[in-house]
A and B are shown apart, each in its own frame.
Chain A
């Protein structure tokens, strides 16, 4: 590939029709400390910080479950 070609180029015989490729997933492993965190409004929070949250914050959810096997 030439350096000047920083985008896709169309060559004879090409197609733009793609087959479905399923997404790949990755889950960041939690530290022992993070396993104790609770989820508020879609974000994980250390329990000791719950008292400092805005009064209108949604209720906390249970700590994150371990990764599915």
Chain B
């Protein structure tokens, strides 16, 4: 997904250039040019146990931020996208909220990676879900990541 739409009135001072859901994020201090390794980037999930359910294993969300230094609150909305028979978006259901998390960006860095460990992520039904990265004072998500929950 690309960066969310920013309106003139609430244009954020920071942005996020990527958001990835994965099994694990690994930090490698010996590789300062590429210090983060994402293992098992998740594209879809298929619980053989049916729905409703929640993930008993933690998942990791990795984000890269850029922009003005400072401390802010961010959080993730987990939204289920509901489509009608024609494939048009009919509804958006906020299933849960992860956070808030304190995001402290330091000055003079090109990008700043952060990762978040989410436990017991609930999925009440099969379908398309979106993790939306939100920041206080800005109406649109900074960025979103989609995952398909298969039947």
Does A57 lie within 8 Å of B48, measured CB to CB?
yes
How many B residues have CB within 8 A of the partner chain?
Answer: 52
Q: Please name the residue on chain B nearest to A52 by beta carbon.
A: B50
- In the complex, A39→B122 CA distance in Å? 13
Does A23 lie within 8 Å of B115, measured CB to CB?
yes
Shortest CB distance B99–A (Å)? 6
Q: Please name the residue on chain A nearest to B60 by beta carbon.
A: A23
Does A6 lie within 8 Å of B113, measured CB to CB?
no
Query: Is B83 an interface residue, CB under 8 A from the partner?
Result: no
Q: Which of A16, A23, A53 gathers most chain B CB within 10 Å?
A: A23
- In the complex, A57→B50 CA distance in Å? 12
Size category, A interface? 35 or more
Does A16 lie within 8 Å of B33, measured CB to CB?
yes
Which of B10-18, B86-94, B133-141 has 4 or more CB atoms under 8 Å from chain A?
B10-18
Write the A1-25 contact mask toward B (1 if CB under 8 angstroms, else 0): 1010011111101111111110111
Query: Which of A14, A20, A25, A61 contacts B119 (CB under 8 A)?
Result: A25
Does A27 lie within 8 Å of B11, measured CB to CB?
no
- In the complex, A46→B49 CA distance in Å? 9
Does B49 lie within 8 Å of A43, measured CB to CB?
yes
Query: Is B3 an interface residue, CB under 8 A from the partner?
Result: yes
Does A34 lie within 8 Å of B54, measured CB to CB?
yes
Query: Which of B25, B48, B109, B119 contacts A26 (CB under 8 A)?
Result: B119
Q: Please name the residue on chain B nearest to A11 by beta carbon.
A: B108
Shortest CB distance B22–A (Å)? 12
- In the complex, A40→B53 CA distance in Å? 10
Q: Which of B27, B98, B120 gathers most chain A CB within 10 Å?
A: B120
- In the complex, A14→B69 CA distance in Å? 12
Residues of chain B in range 47-67 having any CB-CB distance to chain A below 8 Å: 47-50, 52-58, 60, 66-67
B residues adjacent to A (C-beta < 8 A): 2-3, 6, 8, 11-15, 17, 25, 27, 29, 32-33, 35, 47-50, 52-58, 60, 66-68, 96, 98-99, 101-102, 106, 108-122
